[in-house]
Structure 1
């Protein structure tokens, strides 16, 4: 019998109560469909404004009448209940009429982005067996339409011959629309539930006016539209170019007396940046800011507070998948949290959140696992009980997300990573979420994005700087190196003026990765294409971007882009990509009036470099003979190839050595984490005792070899304060003949500055360090120029011996080969001819249980000696 069947749990009672309490929010879901609820609202409050744009507005009664005309036209075209109807419209009131009209006809809206390329635009309709598409008259001649697809303009629907009677469709379990490349389905009850939750939570209602900056062709746009329709809040649209023009947003909010703002954090960042540039603040009537679609940086919330009145409320909304319904909400009314990123919060009404480990067990508070969603969002679409992930203790059906998170002690869920943003390093997956958070937190940064490229083996950083700040990639990498693991350092950091955006306002991470791919391919194509600095090169680059945006193979410079089906959204996207990829400033208004590539780049042709000579291609990043691999990922990939093994013999028949590997191999390992527990002196004495000499028949013998029996290497011990029982801090010489520790510099250790940055964290945790120093005048007279090579061989033998003995006595060691030897001279009182060979950091190794969260975070002061010297 399973744990679910028995109702058992391995968690303590207080943990079970915490997880149960955070998932208790339930409530009634309004019956029927979205269309039913909108009709009911229009019947009671029909004169209220439902949607408005600069030259047009519709009351709720007028909106319902326009939607019913469209629904009647769809029924005249034999659209059946539940059939899919493509909705391909640009942002504005038409998208509200179109969506509601499809709902009123009892159909399912298949959302198609008019800004997408021709092939991508209609691929979904081919697969979904769509017969009718709802669009706008201005798109009829500008887009190419597939053969056999009936086209209906939402803004040119004649009056119905007979009064419209909506079909009998009252089940909220029915699908309302399909959004995104993955075909995410939003049901009527999903939309009704989230609107009821937010209406109760934030008192959203007919008195509110809400921005509508998100195209309805995305899942977030559908929820934005549904929230306005179902609560009675008026949806406020600007000009279509305003969707990507932050300079117009403050005026829009003020002029239309907007009370509720909804966008992605990236779009809000652009609004706040514009207000900061102007030195203005948000009007007092803006009371609620809803954010969704992306990670919400806490710094952005603080910046918003600086330009807003004190009473403004910020809500972070999260979905289980990119176009899915919102399932979690975190409300911020006072000071934002101290964490770099705002948590996703607690489950919304009738939703549940669970964090499960890789083995499927429930994670207690603070333990990271995969976030799973239960409740409404996890219901099977057909109402059946199809297979899927289930809760290990309750048997509840769950929807697995791609995000890693943890439950905080107050029942709030915090996200710490994402499966789509991971680096593969030496077989392990690391979250670049940590890199992005650290990069955005640098003093010079305003916002940051980190993306992975290739097969997830490299990451790239992009950063927007604060106004007036000037810095370099090297300086940013230098700061970041002190914040994150070396394996998480991006291969490059680019400073950008703005991020490319997806149509619904998120950072276009695919575009950022694509920019890198194009840059990486540039040296290969430089032989056949003009240089980017020439007029011809600029024209070719701009043409390539335009072809990509419009989905065509070639464009003449003076061709009107409207003749190719370009929409205003596509033109704005073209301008954005041209600015980001070509580094030019585009006059968007001129481009919209005279849409052509010549207008796009015309002002910049005269400024191009006049040399006419191709620029030198940058050197390849791949290493050739004599080159050093600098990048961490490059180095790891190189090591993983195990070039030292002669792989040409891998398939040659050989003679088996038999048996199995020596069991002692498993105990010899390098430790990079040490416990805070003090080292027992007897264990340390046994370790260092391996370096002592012994008399064998009148001959002095060591446990390791040395060239010619010279034994020039000496061992020095550096003990951290309070980390070895019965042994004072300071440096000691390990006397091999006397088998004693001889004090060299009592109370003074080797300063942390002697070690490379990559080893500082290990040094902070270590209890002691062993330094191997070669006294060169003890071997040079014997071997001359070979003296140093033989010293290195001896250091290797000593290290192997110490590593083996350490495992036997229960200690851990970490070999260190790089440091600043000049820092050793004083504390070790070295002679001029003494030369550093190798070092080992040591302590009590961290056990597996400790690594799961009980390891002590060392106090930096633990490694400091006297205040005057600053040594460890």
Structure 2
């Protein structure tokens, strides 16, 4: 503390009072993790602000009550803000700190740079002038309390947050010219001195704006770590900085409103980038408004005898489908008094009857909601009450109890006549009316019903069929449940083109080899699913897959592994592999990327460019366009945007709104993304508390809500960490119990699992349940998710006890190694503990059937074993006991 104990204590107190309110460092776009760069190589960009320009710059600063230093710093912070994911952040300043506290200090040669922190925080409504004055105030206050320097502040912050590694603020502004840029005195360095080279190469610095005095003016330098940032990012930032400095000068000559009165971003996006985005969003295609089922009805008129739906040995022609659905429509109008857009639920297993039910609902004028009959009864009734359904279409074959679904009106397909004539029911709805509602996970325990109009969906379906030339010669194997929006394309996209819709046989096992056999037997040409089933087929049945007629693979709903497209093409060299994306709220899909070639350095498949009559924007917290590589939130605009959430105007207003400046209606996706090269968008993950598990979107709060209904549970946090071995996300429930709960922990975990199974879909049931004495909190009182313990066991050194001790264990160990794709296995470790998940379980059961000749009855024991997180040793015991009962030697 350089100015005496009193001043030092005062400075320390100043910073300690503000330490917990310091924003983090700017979140700039990175090419790789900084931890991957062992020996940073500093690159340098240099530009010159000529003396005459510098004089004009200082005059502009004086006019607005600013020092030139503050204005240079403020402009730098505006550039950083434009590329930062967050608009509030902290910069490190290095100032010349040669203070006259010691005699002869002015004759001393050495490094007198003094680090200081500058928190940059403001609101979108503030003007550029107000933000510059705020920067100057904070700069001045920091200098007044500089004896407690930036390094000391960061040490204290690291200690208080109990971080495992030191906190740093690696984006820097270095001014070696104070006071007031040394008044541009040519000999400030001393008689006979000459600058040869200047750069601050502190290892913690990622990007530094260094201001130096040159004989012809002011030197502007950007020093940055080579390879850390995307290509040309530092150059783009330097160009933006100089452009802003010139704007500050040139606007002084204007009489109208200038940059000083402007709110929001003042840093310009390059015209070349704007042109790329305009081209990407120029998506107009003339698609006439129609009802969702109109194209299907047209196909039935043109080809009534053509097969529409197949399941096993069952066939249903277009004529039969429409004839039966017409009778259902008439029955619904008569019994439920349907008006346009009324909600009618359908609760049927996948198959021809499901499509018949949905088509009948649409022909009646209603909008359909699919209620999966396999869901727990409590969940089914919750959804029915939530959507206020006027009726439920089902069958006695699905539910034998006549009182199922009371008090709702139940209409059974069994009562429809088989000889229904091919007639039409005049439509009562228009293209803007509601077509269907799909329920997605909700944060309060209440699912959100996404309302899609006929025109919303038709815009997507027509574009996909046109884009990929889908015709009556095509067939799709539909594996998506009717409550998952991918099914809408299967049902109305392919059938609308006159093609065939194929379901797996009702008794078919969930097995990739059976999927492939179905592809071959039915001549399937189109596959439409999340990526995981495709990967399972490629891994487990590539030979069969190669014999199929697949020409088009559509993948969406989750991350596509970067090695999957090439693996697909090894089996199917001529297949088109397409990445699709968007949101349920955007009518199935809104963006597309044909995967032709995967670069070796890609960490993800590009999200792509918008579909017809749809648009994408990457916006910051101020709803302004982010520059190339700048991370922002993804917003969808255009014809696909849903009407909103069913009976929830509050949530609708939060997610669907009109942009205050452009007037464009937007949907806020909650996904982070950025523009990369050629107008393409890259998606970077969820912004809010939602995750995707095997392609299904899960709101963690809904799972928490289900578990909190248990009396013993006081607090629940659901997390979805990535398993270190499988690389897949798994749901984990962290529980804090009420005091004096008299229950064994393992018993309680089982109760929690049963509660989740009785109220939630299978993909929302946590894999792990972890009981904690308390929830870890951050300094701000929020749940510290980073401090939650890993649910899987820590690595253990394999001993003699954990090695295979039988031939069965050895065979199982080899199978697990192959499926889990790693060797770090212990025969006593549970299936989920070593990275297993539900999709790997499907592949494992398929392999066990062949390897150990397991019967259907015996398979149930294996399924239960998987569910209980059984180890290899326990699995071996189950299999050996089975074979002993059968009198079979395992050899």
The normalised TM-score by structure 1 is 0.51
Q: Secondary structure, in 3 states, of the residue corresponding to 2:398?
A: helix
Q: In the TM superposition, what are the counterparts of 1:610-649 in structure 2 within 5 Å?
A: none
**Residue of structure 2 equivalent to 1:100:** 359
Return closer, same or farther for 1:97/1:266 CA change in 2, 3 Å cut-off.
same
Give me the whole-angstrom Cα distance separating, in 2, the residues matched to 1:457 and 1:146.
Answer: 31
**Residue of structure 2 equivalent to 1:245:** 511
Return closer, same or farther for 1:88/1:520 CA change in 2, 3 Å cut-off.
same
Give 1:406 shift: 0.8
Return closer, same or farther for 1:29/1:195 CA change in 2, 3 Å cut-off.
same
Return closer, same or farther for 1:45/1:162 CA change in 2, 3 Å cut-off.
closer
The match for 2:669 among 386, 401, 417 is 401
Give me the whole-angstrom Cα distance separating, in 2, the residues matched to 1:251 and 1:335.
Answer: 29
**Residue of structure 2 equivalent to 1:78:** 336
The match for 2:307 among 39, 49, 65 is 49
**Residue of structure 1 equivalent to 2:558:** 294
Structure 1 residue ranges without an equivalent (≥5): 423-431, 438-448, 463-492, 500-508, 552-574, 611-872
1:306 aligns with 2:570: yes
**Residue of structure 1 equivalent to 2:608:** 345
The match for 2:682 among 389, 414, 423 is 414
1:590 aligns with 2:857: yes
1:113 aligns with 2:362: no
Return closer, same or farther for 1:126/1:84 CA change in 2, 3 Å cut-off.
same
**Residue of structure 2 equivalent to 1:169:** 428
Give 1:105 shift: 0.7
8 Å Cα contact 1:302-1:336 kept in structure 2: no
Give me the whole-angstrom Cα distance separating, in 2, the residues matched to 1:281 and 1:131.
Answer: 44
Give me the whole-angstrom Cα distance separating, in 1, the residues matched to 2:524 and 2:274.
Answer: 43
Return closer, same or farther for 1:607/1:450 CA change in 2, 3 Å cut-off.
farther
Q: How many residues align?
A: 510
Return closer, same or farther for 1:159/1:348 CA change in 2, 3 Å cut-off.
same
**Residue of structure 2 equivalent to 1:754:** none
Offset from partner CA, 1:486-542 (integer Å, 9 cap, x none): xxxxxxx3659xx7xxxxxxxxx6xx324x548999xx988476799xxxx9xx999
Give me the whole-angstrom Cα distance separating, in 1, the residues matched to 2:726 and 2:284.
Answer: 46
Give 1:281 shift: 4.5
**Residue of structure 1 equivalent to 2:448:** 182
Give 1:290 shift: 0.6
Give 1:58 shift: 1.5
**Residue of structure 2 equivalent to 1:269:** 535
The match for 1:203 among 469, 474, 487 is 469
Give 1:100 shift: 0.9
8 Å Cα contact 2:717-2:735 kept in structure 1: no
Q: Secondary structure, in 3 states, of the residue corresponding to 2:296?
A: helix
1:319 aligns with 2:582: yes
The match for 1:283 among 522, 541, 547 is 547
8 Å Cα contact 1:185-1:324 kept in structure 2: no
Give me the whole-angstrom Cα distance separating, in 1, the residues matched to 2:699 and 2:331.
Answer: 48
**Residue of structure 1 equivalent to 2:270:** 12
Return closer, same or farther for 1:87/1:269 CA change in 2, 3 Å cut-off.
same
Return closer, same or farther for 1:403/1:44 CA change in 2, 3 Å cut-off.
same
**Residue of structure 2 equivalent to 1:373:** 636
Higher relative contact order (CA 8 A, sep 6+): 2
Return closer, same or farther for 1:337/1:4 CA change in 2, 3 Å cut-off.
farther
1:460 aligns with 2:718: no
**Residue of structure 2 equivalent to 1:60:** 318
Give 1:320 shift: 2.7
1:152 aligns with 2:411: yes
Return closer, same or farther for 1:198/1:162 CA change in 2, 3 Å cut-off.
closer
1:513 aligns with 2:731: yes
Return closer, same or farther for 1:14/1:550 CA change in 2, 3 Å cut-off.
closer
Give me the whole-angstrom Cα distance separating, in 1, the residues matched to 2:326 and 2:635.
Answer: 39
Q: Secondary structure, in 3 states, of the residue corresponding to 1:70?
A: helix
Q: Secondary structure, in 3 states, of the residue corresponding to 1:110?
A: strand
Q: Secondary structure, in 3 states, of the residue corresponding to 2:679?
A: coil
1:131 aligns with 2:403: no
8 Å Cα contact 1:299-1:340 kept in structure 2: no
Alpha-carbon RMSD across the aligned residues, in angstroms, is 5.0
8 Å Cα contact 1:184-1:324 kept in structure 2: no
Offset from partner CA, 1:834-853 (integer Å, 9 cap, x none): xxxxxxxxxxxxxxxxxxxx
Give 1:87 shift: 0.9
Give 1:212 shift: 0.6
Offset from partner CA, 1:528-580 (integer Å, 9 cap, x none): 76799xxxx9xx999788756799xxxxxxxxxxxxxxxxxxxxxxx997997
Give me the whole-angstrom Cα distance separating, in 1, the residues matched to 2:594 and 2:839.
Answer: 38
Give me the whole-angstrom Cα distance separating, in 2, the residues matched to 1:172 and 1:450.
Answer: 31
Give me the whole-angstrom Cα distance separating, in 1, the residues matched to 2:624 and 2:471.
Answer: 42
Give me the whole-angstrom Cα distance separating, in 2, the residues matched to 1:518 and 1:240.
Answer: 39
Return closer, same or farther for 1:101/1:246 CA change in 2, 3 Å cut-off.
same
Give me the whole-angstrom Cα distance separating, in 1, the residues matched to 2:858 and 2:837.
Answer: 12
**Residue of structure 2 equivalent to 1:711:** none
Structure 2 residue ranges without an equivalent (≥5): 1-256, 440-446, 705-714, 763-835, 881-891
Give me the whole-angstrom Cα distance separating, in 2, the residues matched to 1:531 and 1:13.
Answer: 61
Give me the whole-angstrom Cα distance separating, in 1, the residues matched to 2:499 and 2:562.
Answer: 28
Q: Secondary structure, in 3 states, of the residue corresponding to 1:101?
A: helix
Return closer, same or farther for 1:531/1:367 CA change in 2, 3 Å cut-off.
closer
1:234 aligns with 2:500: yes
Q: Secondary structure, in 3 states, of the residue corresponding to 1:460?
A: coil
**Residue of structure 1 equivalent to 2:459:** 193
8 Å Cα contact 1:179-1:323 kept in structure 2: no
The match for 1:88 among 316, 328, 347 is 347
**Residue of structure 2 equivalent to 1:212:** 478
